[in-house]
């Protein structure tokens, strides 16, 4: 049902909120992403919101004013809470009912009473601040781009990707407490580093701090412990997607990685965008999953015709860097790369199905990272380590500066949108994170 097209995907639909009708607007009536907000500089409680144009909708206030009934009313009133976990747990029927009711009330042909009730609940985005949309109980980060894996393997002098990469969606458990919203500022991490040619490690601030372009995947309805999630049902357990920057200290990671994987190299910061684009809104942008026939089929629990034909999503993704020089000169950020999520080797459904296959009970609000998103071209790399080839080919910015890794004062900005002939363009907003000097 998450893949089915309906009236909310009509490219001709327009809203009476004029800012939503701009051709490059991230939040037209066909999108309607969710978050939580409050008025800036207030002591109001955070509560659920939906974006339309340059406005946010106070969902619970709208439900009250509109006298919303049934599952749409129940779902909207639950959004009065400071996080959306309970709304997530209600499942696709409730998510769809609220989104469809909002679509009808925002449409340019909405009855005047419906419009008046909703108009009273609009607040300019410029006047609000956001909170984490969910209480994130667990965070799992995947490793699912064949292009990223191949590039990194070459840079590390390996003969190819690991033997298990094409058989299993690889992942590790991350740190929830350091997940922050766009605008996050954090100190450069420190840890043990083994310098080239040395016989013993040192403890030092990271000298190879990197970003990783990813998508965040919010679990909606969970599953009981010991109960796997079937591949073709996995998408119905996903509420939606956000932008995610999985910051990485490459030099710390290289030393601590064996035998159990990342630790201090990953636990200091993860930056996500505030808005969650629903899986329903993304339905028009589905594509076949790009698994070569020569790789053979995955095991049966990770294979289906539906996943093969609609498992990929064409989400255009951009990474930009804003240095201190950009900020001082009021200059536009420098673009580092452009790619698409459609290149990912493993689908979202496969990640979810594999996560639950061993008996793990996913819960509403859990967050999964897609893994670094890199395309086949050099300019499509999702990490600076790839772009600059581990400092052997530094990237030249529009300021004349060069970057091999992220430096103090740099901000990394992720943006994303979907665009396809015959459908409205929808966007994700942005995720911005800034690096501060290490604590001395």
Neighbouring CB atoms inside 10 A of 400's CB total 7
pLDDT (average), residues 288-294:
94
Q: What is the pLDDT of residue 261?
A: 86
- Last residue of one domain, picked from the residues 131, 149, 178: 131
β-sheet bridge partners, residue 403: 395
Q: Flag whether 43 is in a domain.
A: yes
**Are 158 and 62 found together in one domain?**
no
β-sheet bridge partners, residue 124: 55
Q: Flag whether 283 is in a domain.
A: yes
Neighbouring CB atoms inside 10 A of 285's CB total 20
Task: Kindly report the CATH number assigned to the domain that includes residue 181.
Answer: 3.90.850.10
**Are 77 and 158 found together in one domain?**
no
Task: Kindly report the CATH number assigned to the domain that includes residue 77.
Answer: 2.30.30.230
What is the domain count for the chain? Answer: 2
**Are 330 and 227 found together in one domain?**
yes
**Are 306 and 392 found together in one domain?**
yes
pLDDT, tens digit (0-9, with 9 covering 90-100), for 192-201: 999 999 999 9
Tell whether pTM > 0.85. yes
**Are 120 and 148 found together in one domain?**
no
Q: What is the pLDDT of residue 1?
A: 53
Q: Flag whether 9 is in a domain.
A: no
**Are 222 and 240 found together in one domain?**
yes
CA 129 to chain centre: 19
**Are 403 and 255 found together in one domain?**
yes
Q: Flag whether 6 is in a domain.
A: no
Q: Are 189 and 268 in contact (CB under 8 A)?
A: yes
**Are 115 and 143 found together in one domain?**
no
**Are 104 and 146 found together in one domain?**
no
pLDDT, tens digit (0-9, with 9 covering 90-100), for 321-375: 999 999 999 999 999 999 999 999 999 999 999 999 999 999 999 999 999 999 9
Q: What is the pLDDT of residue 3?
A: 77
**Are 114 and 149 found together in one domain?**
no
pLDDT band at 309 (very low <50, low <70, confident <90, very high): very high
Active-site amino acid positions: 148
**Are 193 and 317 found together in one domain?**
yes
**Are 103 and 162 found together in one domain?**
no
Indicate if the pLDDT at residue 2 is higher than 70. no
Which domain covers residue 59, as residue numbers?
A: 16-131
**Measured distance CA(25)–CA(54) in Å, rounded:** 8
- Last residue of one domain, picked from the residues 92, 115, 131: 131
pLDDT band at 162 (very low <50, low <70, confident <90, very high): confident
User: CA–CA distance from 295 to each of 108, 221, 292, 298, 306 (Å)?
Assistant: 49, 32, 6, 9, 18
Closest by CA to 355, choosing from 341, 340, 366, is: 366
Q: What is the pLDDT of residue 339?
A: 98
């Amino acid at each position: 049902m998450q893949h089915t097209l309906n009236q909310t995907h009509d490219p001709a639909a327009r809203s009476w909120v004029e800012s939503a009708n701009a051709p490059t607007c991230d939040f037209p009536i066909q999108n309607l992403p969710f978050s939580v907000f409050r008025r800036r500089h207030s002591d109001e409680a955070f509560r659920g919101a939906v974006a339309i144009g340059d406005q946010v909708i106070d969902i619970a206030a709208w439900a009250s004013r509109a006298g919303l009934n049934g599952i749409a009313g129940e779902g909207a009133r639950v959004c009065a809470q400071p996080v959306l976990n309970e709304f997530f747990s209600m499942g696709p029927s409730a998510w769809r009912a609220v989104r469809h009711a909002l679509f009808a009330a925002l449409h340019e042909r909405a009855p005047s009473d419906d419009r008046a009730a909703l108009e009273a609940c609009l607040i300019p985005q410029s006047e609000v601040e956001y909170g984490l949309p969910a209480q994130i109980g667990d965070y799992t980060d995947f490793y699912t781009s064949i292009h990223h894996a191949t590039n990194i393997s070459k840079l590390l002098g390996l003969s190819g990707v690991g033997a298990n990469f094409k058989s299993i969606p690889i992942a590790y458990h991350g740190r929830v407490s350091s997940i922050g919203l766009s605008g996050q500022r954090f100190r450069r991490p420190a840890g043990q580093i083994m310098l080239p040619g040395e016989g013993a490690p040192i403890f030092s601030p990271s000298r190879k701090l990197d970003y990783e372009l990813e998508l965040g995947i919010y679990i909606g309805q969970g599953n009981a412990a010991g109960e796997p999630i079937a591949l073709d049902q996995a998408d119905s357990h996903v509420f939606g997607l956000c932008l995610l920057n999985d910051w990485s200290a490459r030099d710390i990671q290289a030393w601590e990685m064996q035998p159990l994987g990342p630790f201090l190299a990953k636990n200091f910061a993860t930056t996500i965008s505030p808005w969650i684009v629903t899986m329903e809104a993304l339905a028009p942008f589905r594509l076949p999953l790009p698994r070569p026939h020569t790789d053979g089929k995955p095991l049966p629990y990770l294979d289906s015709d539906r996943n093969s034909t609609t498992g990929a999503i064409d989400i255009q993704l951009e990474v930009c860097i804003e240095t201190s020089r950009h900020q001082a000169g009021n200059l536009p950020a420098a673009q580092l790369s452009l790619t698409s999520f459609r290149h990912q080797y493993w689908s979202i459904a496969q990640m979810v199905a594999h996560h639950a296959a061993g008996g793990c009970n996913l819960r509403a609000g859990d967050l999964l990272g897609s893994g670094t998103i890199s395309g086949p071209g050099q300019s499509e790399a999702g990490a600076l380590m790839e772009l600059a080839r581990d400092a052997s080919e530094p990237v030249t910015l529009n300021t004349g500066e060069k970057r091999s890794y992220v430096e103090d004062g740099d901000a990394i900005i992720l943006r994303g949108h979907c665009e396809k002939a015959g459908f409205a363009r929808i966007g994700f907003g942005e995720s911005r994170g800034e690096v501060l000097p290490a604590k001395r």
